[in-house]
Amino acid sequence: MLKTISIIDAKNHVDEEVKIGVWLTNKRSSGKIAFLQLRDGTAFFQGVVVKNNVSEEVFTLAKEVKQEESLYVTGTIHEDQRSPFGYEIELSGIEKVGESENYPISPKKHGVDFLMDHRHLWLRSKRQFAVMKIRNEVIRATYEFFNKEGFIKIDAPILTGSAPEGTTELFHTKYFDKDAYLSQSGQLYEEAGAMAYGKVFSFGPTFRAEKSKTRRHLIEFWMIEPEMAFMHQEESLEVQEKYIAFLVQSVIDNCTYELGILERDINVLKRYTELPFPRISYDEAVEMLQKSGEFPDVEWGEDFGSPEETYLAEHFSKPVFVINYPKAIKPFYMKPHPTREDVVICADLLAPEGYGEIIGGSERATDPEFLEAQIEKAGLNKDDYQWYLDLRRYGSVPHSGFGLGLERAITWITGEEHIREAIPFPRLLNRIYP
């Protein structure tokens, strides 16, 4: 009986006859030889059917099989140095499992809108396979990193009664007879966890009710949010850069095949593992922009948009921290600067190559009276935040945290041009899935 294997394991079965369950992605023929491009969810490789070595029935099926039909194929694995994968299978048998008529995503090039309308099928394509495998590796590496660093995972609620980032970007719903919102962030709950367990993180869905068609914004995305007790901002920045370098190195080590599919330059990625990352102040960033001559309208006190972030990041060969932004443009919970009234202790990590902010973080305010005043100033109901103020009333300590948006980080690591192209999953598009 033939052994059934996955394509990714072909290297372990050279010159052996095996059986694999596959789908056909494309095909071509040259006289008495048919070349079938096959996938099974673990990798892509080529099946070769030589007319003189198989039955007439098998060769006819090889010529007639349609795109995305599912098959059981049998044959012998050979090394193939011409192939990026390195192996192919010389087929001796083909068994059709499932039909596929008029598959809509043909091998020709399609526009993004068309592909997004068929994203349930687009996931099968080679580039999306590579992106999603890298996404899976980043998720795996995230858990490994925080486990090694002594963090405990605490899941924050998805339905919340309060807003950590302000009320303008909230999805409103009803929790029976009470107002509730889809979570903008798990941060406030993670702060409670940090006061109990020292170092915690959450990893879950986040929602922003902000219509956008830019390459960098999503309605729903996944956020990694660590919170750390007895930690000041500079110590937090060291954790952040270690985390980013660990993610990138894990992708380099474990996703060489997928990076090759995406034609992502590994030498460029290696630069992002070199620590420490540079740090500049918001003041210095504004000065750089003003002196460039490209941003004559930039003034101190404004947040940076995509062009400004791109300009700043391109001055460095790796991600750069911009620290201590104006208090007026940041959320209520950030710790005020000890010597300046106009800025808070925070940082954004800007990625090179035009991808902008991938991490936002800060040291958290610890004075309950200051926080209560900030909550009122933000137009929030302070009664909803009494539990949050309790964290400062009962044994408060210096603590810091940050958030990384998974999808934007994946887009940067993979080098894709648009976040929609990087993650073609239903939850990630600013339209309702039918």
CATH number of the CATH domain containing 338: 3.30.930.10
- Residue linked to tokens 């894990």: 250
Model confidence at 421, in pLDDT bands (50, 70, 90)? very low
Show which of 98, 127, 162 is a domain's final residue. 98
Give residues with Cβ within 8 angstroms of 385, minimum separation 6: 162, 371, 372, 375
Show which of 98, 131, 151 is a domain's final residue. 98
What pLDDT, in 10s, does the model give residues 57-74?
999 999 999 999 999 999
CATH of the domain at 89: 2.40.50.140
Q: pTM for the whole thing?
A: 0.92
Asked if the model's pLDDT at residue 41 lies above 60, the reply is yes
**Domain shared by 239 and 275, yes or no:** yes
**Domain shared by 76 and 137, yes or no:** no
**Domain shared by 162 and 50, yes or no:** no
The two three-digit tokens of residue 68, written as one number: 């995305």
**Domain shared by 7 and 91, yes or no:** yes
Number of domains in the chain: 2
What pLDDT, in 10s, does the model give residues 262-295?
999 999 999 999 999 999 999 999 999 999 999 9
**Domain shared by 246 and 169, yes or no:** yes
**Domain assignment of residue 137, yes or no:** yes
Mean pLDDT of the chain: 92
**Domain assignment of residue 430, yes or no:** no
**Domain shared by 152 and 289, yes or no:** yes
**Domain assignment of residue 105, yes or no:** no
**Domain shared by 133 and 258, yes or no:** yes
Print the domain residue range for 136: 119-422
